[in-house]
Structure 1
Amino acid sequence: MKCIACDSNHLIKVHENLFKCKRCNTLQRENPDEYYKKIKTVYNDSYFSERYKKRHGKDIKQDIDNIKKIATRRIEIIENLLLRESECEGCNSINCDGCYVRNLVKSLKNRKLLDIGCGSGIFLEVAKSRGFKVKGIDFNKHILHILPENIKEDVIIGDFLSYETDEKFDVITMFFVLEHMPNVKEVLRKVWGMLKYGGILAISTPNGNGFTASLTPSNYYSLIPEDHLYEFSVKSLTNLLKKNNFRISRIINTGFHPERITNKKLVFPFVSLYQKIINLGDTFEVYAVKKLP
């Protein structure tokens, strides 16, 4: 078995059907394709509500304001990157500070955005409200009853790798999706082909080498959700993106999952301090730009 991220053969077993790469710290399942076939029934009608409530202590409707706040933060980052990466009509250059303000409105109007694994559709709703032409895809038909009404017509139910289109996108997003997909490299190649040159790929994902994984590794490994086929480190995911012709523009460490820590009384008072010192989160976001091969 080889590491999905760096192709190393040096993997060690850290838990049942879970292996860690000694070179880049990626966590992965053995035979992810076969494993996925066995566990994909977890994506049922209650998947989103139960999983979300277990992690956050409230359901999606109760946490709607916070979800929209996160979505807005992400779309603002994407907007800023699009403006910086766009070819300026004034001087035909990229990263033009002099023409930045002049291009502000025109550069963002009707930009095309595809959200893979769109789930509740709230990110799509926020992006649409800011002028993006949005499209979402999710293989779980059970999301239809939780999608905002003004988004339903923009969402396709189906598998991303089976989705065929000649359309090119300015932005493709995958928020907590990549770790669930057995064919990661194939997905990234397809995403690259669907993006315009200078387009933005935004990914959020668990950090398999983050704060909690480093603090209490055995406990962390035992509590990794069964539908996580991979958990990347910041290093391994960014290297994988570079191999697939993306330039890393921004990395943000986010998130903390106390449910994966054994001795909470000992750790909780120092969580914020620890995270600031070591700059690690239990999750992270990567914003990358499509470049020519």
Structure 2
Amino acid sequence: MENFNDLAAFALVASEHSFTRAAAKMGVSQSALSQTIRQLEARLGLRLLDRTTRSVSPTQAGEQLLKTLAPRLEEIENALSSLKALREKPAGTVRINAGEHSAATLLEPRLRKVIAENPDIRIEIAADYGLMDIVAQRFDAGVRLGEQVARDMIAVRIGPDIRMAVVGSPDYFRRFAPPQTPHDLTAHNCINMRLPTHGGLLPWEFSKDGRDLNVRVTGQLIFNNLALRLNAALAGSGLACLPEDSVREAVARGELIAVLQAWCPYMSGYHLYYPDRRHPSPAFARVIEALRWRDE
């Protein structure tokens, strides 16, 4: 494609009737602008401007070119202006991949205000436990615990430190003695969770006095979401390992009993992560600010 900068330069000189004023608006020297116009005239084989010591005016060929060129340049300027408005206006779709717990407790509640105040923003939340490649799957961002975020990603904390809780119903503990150590879980009916990424069962992680311990528990029930595991624990079907905040009210009401608390340390909270973006969209920037954790 040809470089049309010289046409824009010609249109400005013709409309200003001055090389001096046109050069000032373009931020170039008058001699450089004159050279540009001479090269354009040589390329077209036509004289476009009549120059005198006092003024500059288009020739007949210049008038004809300017008549055709000016509206086109205005259209281009308007198109660029509309793009600028699009860049500055929060609009478009933001896609986030997150686990069920973070989606329900952090994303959906905090993003209500964003969509209420920005009708042109659409937010899609894919709630699952798969540790997928957000770039390959065309997500704008993902949510993981802090220690799970890859180092080449930008991470923004969106929640406080969290910990898991091992819980069972009073009815269950009337039938089985509460475990005293994580090793005791091998004798209990535990409610497992199936990992979607690799198809394996999620191990239960514990730590105490600097000692980390992963226990692969067994039981009659396996689910792939939080709500079903919580319902099964409430029904007395077995022990479940769930985020502490999801069972806090049930424990306070006496519907569930927490065990092995000394073995359940706090972990780095949820982080929103995304690839480096030099110029994030206004919509994505609004989402980040709405989710950013502020320790109150």
TM score, norm. by length of structure 1: 0.26
Greater RCO, CA 8 A, separation 6+: 2
TM score, norm. by length of structure 2: 0.25
Which protein has the larger Cα radius of gyration, Structure 1 or Structure 2?
2
